[in-house]
Amino acid sequence: MFLKHKETFLSIGNKRIFVEVASCDKTRQIGLMNRQELSENSGMLFIFPDSNYRSFWMKRTPLPLSIAYANKLGTIIEIKSMEPLSLKGVKSSSPSMFALEMNKGWFKKNSIRVGDKISFPEYFLSELSGKNTKMNLLKEYIRELLNEKKWADFNAPQGQTINLTPEDFEDDVSCPEPPCPEVRDLDDEIFDLIQTAYADVELEPGKYGNAKVRSPSDLPAGYTIMQAANLDSDPEPDFFRGSKMRAGRSKLGIVGHDGSAAAIQKYLEDTAEQLKSGAIAEMSGKIAHIMITRHGVPAVVNHAQVESMLGKPVEWMGKHPEEKYASRYGSGYDGWYSREIAGTKHMKILLGGQ
């Protein structure tokens, strides 16, 4: 959504204020960053394309501010303070479509309370209705029709890993009458994590990602055991793992994370724990090195056993072809092999399975 008007006057009760309008991703992300002052009765109104839980931080924002979250009707549902330059998210406790930032204490000073309503001028309301409300209602209708799931639908506590099922991804149908609005759902949220995790894997010149999942519609891509977790204050997941059963064992497969230190740490620790508990995973490069040297995860070093566990033939190598690694790992990791994936040969080792 992008509104033509970048600023407008609003009223809350008998108080009239001037606001800058942030109605697209770019303006919402920049917000009041680097501002040194804000006029007494001026602020910034953030408009979102739907009603959802919100979180704001004060990165590169030296002004002390107060924020009012408002629902889709413009009714203020809560007012909170925000400290200058703080990276801690200030979250809404209920779904909101609007957020109004003013100088710290402005709402209290002007007797603006929860339950008060933001009033928009007629010309602005008309534009808002045309580009926001109607589109939002259409999105909600389509989402209800297709029963699309978003991460927020699971109500998972922050930091808690939950199980996902293939049915959670079954929502893709053709658009009956293009153009149709985009609806960001679980497929999109998880796909973004996968893209981040495989950002350095080149599939073809100039194109990077995972060979098996190249678009959100590819999910769940045959994975039957899936887990995800949200580790921070934003409303989307930060970690994902997809696995499937092979020869009675869980074979760890695709992974996704948001690139944060917390998500990567969770990925490494969860992977090591599962591999030491009987799961298996084909690994290579840096991740294999970390599992071997930092976590002491064992390897399957018998050629026939590897092929039996994988259910497919491999080109056996045994020792790592580079002597410095072969020497460091020792004979307990002489289980390297090569196999073709998406037309390209990859050197791997099967870890876990003990």
As a whole number, mean pLDDT of residues 132-144 equals 48
Q: What is the C-alpha separation between 124 and 111, in angstroms, rounded?
A: 25
Contact (CB, 8 A) for 129 and 135: no
Which one is predicted more confidently, 183 or 305?
305
Q: Which has the closest alpha carbon to 170: 194, 147, 193?
A: 147
Mean residue pLDDT of the chain comes to: 86
As a whole number, mean pLDDT of residues 240-258 equals 92
Second CATH level (architecture) for the domain 7-135: Sandwich (2.60)
Contact (CB, 8 A) for 187 and 195: no
Asked which of 2-6, 147-151, 292-296, 316-320 is least confident by mean pLDDT, the reply is 2-6
Residue 309, amino acid: M
The pLDDT assigned to 1 comes to 47
As a whole number, mean pLDDT of residues 314-334 equals 95
What tens digit of pLDDT does each residue of 223-247 get? 999 999 999 988 899 999 999 998 7
Q: What are the residue ranges spanned by the domains of the chain?
A: 7-135, 152-275, 278-354
Label residue 130 by pLDDT band (50, 70, 90): low
What six digits make up the tokens of 140? 């909600």
As a whole number, mean pLDDT of residues 198-209 equals 84
Label residue 123 by pLDDT band (50, 70, 90): low
As a whole number, mean pLDDT of residues 52-74 equals 92
Label residue 101 by pLDDT band (50, 70, 90): very high
Q: What is the C-alpha separation between 47 and 98, in angstroms, rounded?
A: 5
What tens digit of pLDDT does each residue of 159-201 get? 999 999 988 886 554 444 444 455 678 998 999 999 999 998 8
In this prediction the pTM is 0.57
The pLDDT assigned to 14 comes to 85
In sequence order, the 6+-apart residues with CB closer than 8 A to the CB of 123 are 5
As a whole number, mean pLDDT of residues 48-65 equals 91
Per-residue pLDDT at 82 exceeds 60: yes
